[in-house]
Chains A and B, each alone.
Chain A
């Protein structure tokens, strides 16, 4: 297997983790997705591209997350992106980011998870999220600002 494809599958696990913020569930969905791909390949109907894995895992994640506690539908505060935001983010643990992203409503959660995997082109993102460019733009813009507001509250930074 090419190193690139192996990397894609590792990113698939990270995607599941960002969607659920739960390592065990992410692992379960990762395995289920790969099992289905293997079954399809055995039947001579192998997935056409790597996006299939992320689409499949996405719907599995949404299915799983519907069973647990649901986040309240509230308008989060938004702040302008700060120059010092990178230093705030560096102080976080990956789990904290995953908790924040997994708490976002759909389809913003999928959009943020896929965008920050830094694996997909613009068209790929639109394809997997099934969003229009203006919708994706709005979700990413609001996501950043809301995350900045959360950062300002959770990891106050010393402004230069």
Chain B
């Protein structure tokens, strides 16, 4: 009994639960307690007591009706394989990785497709133009960008070439109208703020019907460190382009103006 005094409180607590069969010890704390108390008299007495009681339980006679009634089929559902075992299977692991890669590529393509919009090809070409132009190539026009709609209509007969309200208050440095490589009339405006450039060009049309391909809201695109944000209205696309990223343009289009 003296050895028991050295046992911790937790060990003493766990020792009361020590099963008779070693394979039933499935708890770390219990295993530790048994290890600490393996040579103590108190554990030996308890185990002898339990063996005798368990032996008496096994002596409970089983009625004939029970033995005969025990069914021949099992009612227990087959054990499910834990997911860890599946994960360790090389074939399943390889398949899982392949599926994951395909899924990632699919998601990237889907996102890319969702970001596409009619007139994107023209917008990209104009981003290249923006990155290679200097302000001195444009005719000097110092006014508010919003006032250029009338100027473009009056001087160049360009209908609906209007600057959206989000950019209408910005001061301009210059402006020009030119034909791009597809013969479309493009208006280009240079702004004071952030050396931003605005482009207005005809929206893409259906080849067969000639109908304008509309799209809703603002669409971003970027190319060679230049970022543009495009919107279509009344058959004309407007693009604001700046050297930088989306976050340089986001503040302008996030403020809703009448």
Task: Answer whether A86 and B51 are a contact pair too, CB < 8 Å, given A50-B76, A144-B46.
Answer: yes
Task: Answer whether A123 and B26 are a contact pair too, CB < 8 Å, given A6-B70, A116-B53, A118-B19.
Answer: yes
> Any chain B CB within 8 A of the CB of A40?
yes
Interface string of A34-58 (1 = CB under 8 A from B): 1001101100011111101000000
**Is A122 a contact partner of B57 (Cβ separation < 8 A)?**
no
**Is A92 a contact partner of B56 (Cβ separation < 8 A)?**
yes
**Is B60 a contact partner of A17 (Cβ separation < 8 A)?**
yes
> Any chain A CB within 8 A of the CB of B61?
yes
> Any chain B CB within 8 A of the CB of A97?
yes
- Shortest B236–chain A CB gap in Å is 64
> Any chain B CB within 8 A of the CB of A158?
no
Partner of B56, one of A10, A94, A136, A144: A94
- Shortest A37–chain B CB gap in Å is 4
Task: Answer whether A117 and B57 are a contact pair too, CB < 8 Å, given A122-B17, A136-B17, A137-B13.
Answer: yes
> Any chain B CB within 8 A of the CB of A83?
yes
Chain B residues with a Cβ closer than 8 Å to the other chain, count? 45
Interface secondary structure of A, over-half rule? helix
> Any chain A CB within 8 A of the CB of B88?
no
**Is B19 a contact partner of A116 (Cβ separation < 8 A)?**
no
Partner of B77, one of A14, A38, A48, A147: A48
**Is B14 a contact partner of A137 (Cβ separation < 8 A)?**
yes
Give the chain A neighbours of B136 by CB distance below 8 A: none
Interface string of A120-160 (1 = CB under 8 A from B): 11111100000001101110110010011000000000000
> Any chain A CB within 8 A of the CB of B181?
no
**Is B46 a contact partner of A81 (Cβ separation < 8 A)?**
yes
> Any chain B CB within 8 A of the CB of A76?
no
**Is A89 a contact partner of B56 (Cβ separation < 8 A)?**
yes
> Any chain A CB within 8 A of the CB of B208?
no
Give the chain B neighbours of A81 by CB distance below 8 A: 45-46, 49
- Shortest B214–chain A CB gap in Å is 54
> Any chain A CB within 8 A of the CB of B52?
yes
Closest to B61 in A: A94
A2 to B23, CA, bound (A): 20
Q: Which of B13, B57, B67, B72 has the most CB of A within 10 A?
A: B57
> Any chain B CB within 8 A of the CB of A90?
yes
**Is A122 a contact partner of B21 (Cβ separation < 8 A)?**
no
**Is A13 a contact partner of B56 (Cβ separation < 8 A)?**
no
**Is B69 a contact partner of A14 (Cβ separation < 8 A)?**
no
> Any chain A CB within 8 A of the CB of B65?
yes
**Is B72 a contact partner of A1 (Cβ separation < 8 A)?**
yes
> Any chain A CB within 8 A of the CB of B63?
yes
A-B CB contact pairs (8 Å), 22 listed:
A18-B57, A18-B60, A27-B66, A30-B66, A37-B75, A41-B73, A46-B75, A47-B75, A47-B77, A50-B76, A81-B45, A89-B56, A94-B57, A97-B56, A118-B57, A120-B19, A121-B23, A124-B24, A133-B14, A133-B27, A136-B17, A141-B16
A-binding residues in B (CB < 8 A): 13-14, 16-17, 19-21, 23-27, 29-30, 45-46, 48-63, 65-67, 69-77, 79
